[in-house]
Amino acid sequence: MISEQQLQTWASAPAASKFKYTHEEVRKALANYLPDFAKSNHGYELKNENYEVYLQGSYANSTNITGESDVDIVIELNSIFSYDIDQLTDEEKQTFHSFYSSPSQYKFAQFKKDVFASLEKYFSKTTLEYGAKSLKIPKNSSRVNADVIPAFHHRKYGRFTYYTIDQYVSGIKLYNTKTNDLIINYPKEHKKNCEALNHDTEGKFKDSIRIFKNFRKQLKQKDEIDDSLAPSYFIENLIYNCPAPVFNGSYQNIVINILQNVLNDSENGSLQYYKCANGQDMLFLSKHTWNTDDAMSFVTKCANLVLEKI
């Protein structure tokens, strides 16, 4: 079986200096140029306090491992928001529309172009890529590869009255600008819920995620899996569905407990009820999420790997 010492090594978080520097450089680029480009290109009065720039994914959640070089950086425009009011009653919908009625003339595609222009201006000696979902900044000696994700603020309402106008689940909305597919995610909810479970497990939850990401790294090096079988985000959400007592004991015990918990849930049909850590999306539901065959293939290969001596 993989030794406790090896699992302890894999559980540790690597140094964070380069991705923090990358984050700050993107923040400076937008602060310096975005308001001017928004006004000159599209006539939108945008101030620096109208948006947030923050990390998303492994670096944001402190679940990154050595060798993960890409960092996701969200720029969320808060002065414009989209909404989901499907859960509201007809009366609540009417109340909502009495508060918010005029759509903004500043569109997502315009915002994304202005963000890209700001980054090009700041990183003038670097060739950037205008991707379908993100704007890509290549690494250099000081920074890591960055995917900059322009997004609008999104609100998912479960109730709306004159007394509850500010009660909603906060998310982000963006579009794949090649296919025009809508993408809604809840990175702040994901981070908050992961922090809560990590607190309840005295840090072992995030340690376990790093261990399983290192399992994936080992399996890829052995050519037993490819990148599409078990993306980092899905691994994180899979482990999030394990109850806190699973994370008691040594790392060897925790790994066995996680594998056994998932296998049991697969056998008793509970896997279909697994939720993403954001609390809003199901982990196994559609073509946009994971599928149980891939998940169980990954879990089985991890179980075989655990029995090896590394």
Q: pLDDT digits over 81-100, tens only?
A: 999 999 999 999 999 999 99
**C-alpha distance from residue 224 to each of 192, 229, 270, 286 (Å):** 34, 10, 27, 25
| pTM (predicted TM-score) | 0.92
- Residues spanned by CATH 3.30.460 within the chain? 14-185
Kindly report the number of other CB atoms within 10 A of residue 70's CB atom.
Answer: 18
Angle between helices 204-221 and 232-240 (to 10 degrees): 140
Average of per-residue pLDDT across 28-35? 97
Average of per-residue pLDDT across 255-274? 96
Mean residue pLDDT of the chain comes to: 94
Confidence check: pLDDT of 69 > 80? no
Kindly report the number of other CB atoms within 10 A of residue 63's CB atom.
Answer: 25
Which tens digits make up the pLDDT trace of 136-187?
999 998 899 999 999 999 999 999 999 999 899 999 999 999 999 999 999 9
Which tens digits make up the pLDDT trace of 123-134?
998 899 999 999
Cα separation, 65 vs 69, in Å, equals 9
Angle between helices 292-306 and 204-221 (to 10 degrees): 90
Confidence check: pLDDT of 261 > 60? yes
Average of per-residue pLDDT across 298-308? 93
Q: So what's the pLDDT on residue 286?
A: 67
Confidence check: pLDDT of 109 > 60? yes
Nearest partner of 62 among 190, 176, 207, 185, judged by Cα: 207
CA 99 to chain centre: 31
Nearest partner of 48 among 37, 60, 59, 58, judged by Cα: 37
3-state DSSP assignment of residue 105: coil
Q: So what's the pLDDT on residue 41?
A: 96
CATH number corresponding to 14-185: 3.30.460
Cα separation, 126 vs 138, in Å, equals 8
Cα separation, 35 vs 30, in Å, equals 8
